[in-house]
Structure 1
Amino acid sequence: MSEFNTLVLYCRAGFEKECAAEISTRLSVMGIYGYPRFETGQAYVIFHCQQPGGATDAIQRLRFRDLIFTRQWFAALPLFEQLPADDRITPILASAGSLPVASELVAEVVDTTEGRELQSFARKFGSALSQALRRESILLERKRRADWRLHMLVLDGRTLWLGAAPIGNSSPWSMGILRLKFPQQAPSRSTLKLEEAWRYFIPAQRQDELLGGGLRAVDLGAAPGGWTWQLVKQNMFVIAVDNGPMSPDLMESGQVEHRREDAFTFVPPKPVDWMVCDIVDKPARVTELVLHWAENGWCRHAIFNLKLPMKQRFAETESCLGYLRDSLANAGIGFRLQARQLYHDREEITCWLSLEP
């Protein structure tokens, strides 16, 4: 792959500042320096690297899953602007020779109202460009595999970014979005956050092992039961802790015990396999709660949300996760911790803490 100097990173609209701060921080630790550019609400960030080939280096060395606020990324050619409406492909092919040989081209738009209006055009143009790239042997024939995937981000009918990402170090989903259908039987839409978390964090080969029937779980701040519904769906037995009412249909499952108690003072009668928590409270307080459960050995795995403040959201994320990591390490507790701003999250991030060896 040729040396690229620009990274394109997708994020949730309104979180461009956090996405930019995170990529700048992570790359500076690796000795890769540059500067981000973005406008609030545009749902993507451009990071220009100072060193020649900085983006190529970054996208291969930095672990994609260590990024919290980036949904998808790719190393990009210079921006294509003012493409002629009667022949957009020829100018692109003139620069495309520096792209790596790839398995596919994914045509994408930004996740905004304006971006979604371009989806039909992006799909049609992506199909035409794919055919042209195959003729140039930049794209392999269908069903042939390569290590790279091409990405085209369409900003308007004459402006786009084009680049590449390693298939093994990027999101497998178009636009970095795992789209799920809301189950009508669930008590609330928050149920999708836990389903997406499991799909994102837990490897497919371990789904049956970690989410199999007969496991025991505690849902802190459970009412009305969106997350409890997912646990019950996995045939788990659940203690739902909340002073608020639970869905009557959910309680009829026979798998739920409702405890009207304070989630911050609740003590499980015995250790459980899963603790999940979607409490609306200060992220530092929820972090202390999770640490308390880990130090006492009350669960094997925890999925929890940190509701971020309006200001200093990246700083608060770094502070809470850093404190949790340091505290567990100092206590001699083995752990694995991952965090992500999921598609179904809002002003929050979702974390998975595994306390298995």
Structure 2
Amino acid sequence: MSTTENLCLVTAQPEFIDAALAELHALDQSLTDEGEIAPGISLCRVQDVARFMNIVSKTHPTFTRHLAPVQAIVDIDNSEDDLGAIALATVQLPGFAQIERGTHFAVQSRLLQTDKSQGPRAYSGGQINKTLAEALAEETGAIEDIKKPQVIISLLCTMQKGYLGISTAEDNLSAWPGGARHYAQTKEQISRAEFKLLEALEVFGVILPSHGQALDLGAAPGGWTRLLLDAGLQVIAVDPARLDPRLEQRKGLEHYRGYAEDYLEDAVQQGKQYDLIVNDMRMDAREAARLISKAASCLRTEDGFMISVFKLPHAALGIDPFVNLKEALQILRGSYNIVQAHQLFHNRQEITVVAAQPIPQKRRPQPNRPSQGRIQPPQRPYQERRSQTQRSTSTRWVQKPGQPREQGQGIRQSGSTRSQGQQSQRSSYQRRSQSPRPAQPRTTRPEHH
């Protein structure tokens, strides 16, 4: 077993790992990338891991899904002997004193099959979690709590190494292994997209109102609509396509068989007001931002909020998804005082955004027209191959991920003002071409959810 006090694991969606490392490097320039463990998981070094993780947890990055300290590296051979070696290494960790009587803790194991030629392991992640948790609970009097742990023992195993550390759920950015939040499928479920809304509510700490009106843009087949109805809301579902037949007899549902832009034009003119507006249409992020900005005048000022998914293009020659995102967020901040963005586990090539406190029309600043020129970003000294993209950061106004919601927290009780995000820099993808970025086609076709 080797020990270290300067390493941590960074987890993000594989296509966004470069952006995640860039936003973390902006917070702590001592960060260096020691190498990729697996797609979307990088081993990094910083001068002070505890301080670094604490800073990141308070900043709430957009692309970084999970952090875990590496306080010990255990040699493993995928035999049953590994369980004893991991248990011995755990009690020798510098943070083991956090596991004490009454502390709610969880053991979270991630097993990577990095070399299939070595055959199957003699154990599963579930076996490691159960064996280690039972031994620790008996020895220390701590309480295993896999849903709301205060302290987490994180283990990531390749075929040769086990990376082990102890930290709080708050500092990990998520109470789930690698930030992978799974939900059980139910017979009432209409679509996979329901998981995106459930995760957004949990990660951002927002609470659905128990009554009032919600506007669901691009509703078909009706996954989000079902969840909103179940919460007690009256729902106007906007989509030219049919909804799931199971929704036809639901009380409180109105289906507008048309496009979102047409509906919003009438809604704005008629002065309609909603407690919640959601959007998951398949359209360019900037077009979605303009549409949601238009809807701001229909959102109740005091406690209304908006949840939208921004679709991003894949990086290619002359196409930079992070420029699209930066411009979309800039548009949105012209209409809302509070804007937060995060790449959720259930997001694909997309970002989920929550906004609140719409700015009155007469006071709204006009967003600057994005420059068509190419600005070369400074070179990152820590890793030449990594993307130079830096995200736009906004301060979150709700409880921290991994922590139980306390009374009075959540967007509906918030009085926060608009956060000042860091300015995103252009990524290395854009630097491959000096030609102007091609215009994105405008479409309002909904992505069925």
What is the distance in 2 between the residues matched to 1:246 and 1:238? 13
What is the distance in 2 between the residues matched to 1:108 and 1:43? 17
Give 1:237 shift: 0.9
Partner of 2:260: 263
2:212 corresponds to which of 215, 220, 226: 215
1:232 corresponds to which of 215, 229, 242: 229
CA RMSD in angstroms, aligned pairs only: 3.6
Give 1:334 shift: 2.4
Contact 2:73–2:163 (CA under 8 A) maintained in structure 1: yes
1:309 corresponds to which of 301, 308, 313: 313
Give 1:242 shift: 1.0
Q: Which letter does structure 1 place at the counterpart of 2:299? A: W
Partner of 1:142: 142
Deviations 1:43-100 (A, max 9, x none): 5422422x532x3321111126723333322110353334584744358746834334
Q: Which letter does structure 1 place at the counterpart of 2:47? A: P
Change (3 A) 1:194 1:105: closer
Which structure carries more relative contact order (alpha carbon 8 Å, separation 6+)? Answer: 2
Contact 1:182–1:192 (CA under 8 A) maintained in structure 2: no
Give 1:191 shift: 2.1
What is the distance in 1 between the residues matched to 2:112 and 2:21? 19
User: 268-277 or 344-353: which moved more?
Assistant: 344-353
Change (3 A) 1:56 1:271: same
Partner of 2:53: 59
Partner of 1:8: 9
Deviations 1:317-342 (A, max 9, x none): 4652x4455456556x422x333333
Deviations 1:216-260 (A, max 9, x none): 011111112111111111121111111111223313113111112
Q: Which letter does structure 2 place at the counterpart of 1:248? A: P
Work out whether 1:99 is the aligned partner of 2:95: yes
Partner of 1:76: 70
- The unaligned stretches of length 5 or more in structure 2 are 100-104, 358-411, 416-449
Superposition map of 1:36-55 within 5 A: 37-38=35-36, 42-49=38-45, 51-53=46-48, 55=49
What is the distance in 2 between the residues matched to 1:123 and 1:255? 43
Give 1:200 shift: 2.6
Work out whether 1:123 is the aligned partner of 2:121: no
Deviations 1:16-61 (A, max 9, x none): 241242233233233333125226xx35422422x532x3321111
Secondary structure of 1:168's counterpart equals helix
Secondary structure of 2:53's counterpart equals helix
Give 1:281 shift: 1.1
Give 1:196 shift: 2.4
What is the distance in 1 between the residues matched to 2:75 and 2:200? 37
Change (3 A) 1:130 1:257: closer
Q: Which letter does structure 2 place at the counterpart of 1:48? A: C
Give 1:301 shift: 1.0
Q: Which letter does structure 2 place at the counterpart of 1:109? A: R
1:242 corresponds to which of 230, 239, 244: 239
1:185 corresponds to which of 188, 199, 219: 188
Secondary structure of 2:263's counterpart equals coil
Deviations 1:295-326 (A, max 9, x none): x25352111111221217x9634652x44554
Deviations 1:88-122 (A, max 9, x none): 4358746834334233351311588999x869533
Contact 2:80–2:122 (CA under 8 A) maintained in structure 1: no
Contact 2:215–2:278 (CA under 8 A) maintained in structure 1: yes
Work out whether 1:195 is the aligned partner of 2:189: no
Secondary structure of 2:109's counterpart equals strand
Q: Which letter does structure 2 place at the counterpart of 1:71? A: R
Secondary structure of 1:4's counterpart equals strand
- The unaligned stretches of length 5 or more in structure 1 are none
Give 1:261 shift: 2.2
Partner of 1:173: 176
Secondary structure of 1:223's counterpart equals coil
Secondary structure of 1:79's counterpart equals strand
Number of residue-to-residue matches in the alignment: 333
Change (3 A) 1:178 1:249: same
Partner of 2:250: 253
Identity %: 21
Contact 1:93–1:133 (CA under 8 A) maintained in structure 2: no
What is the distance in 2 between the residues matched to 1:180 and 1:123? 17
Q: Which letter does structure 1 place at the counterpart of 2:11? A: Y
What is the distance in 2 between the residues matched to 1:105 and 1:6? 21
What is the distance in 1 between the residues matched to 2:34 and 2:329? 28
Change (3 A) 1:177 1:77: same
Higher helix share: 1
Partner of 1:27: 25
Q: Which letter does structure 2 place at the counterpart of 1:164? A: I
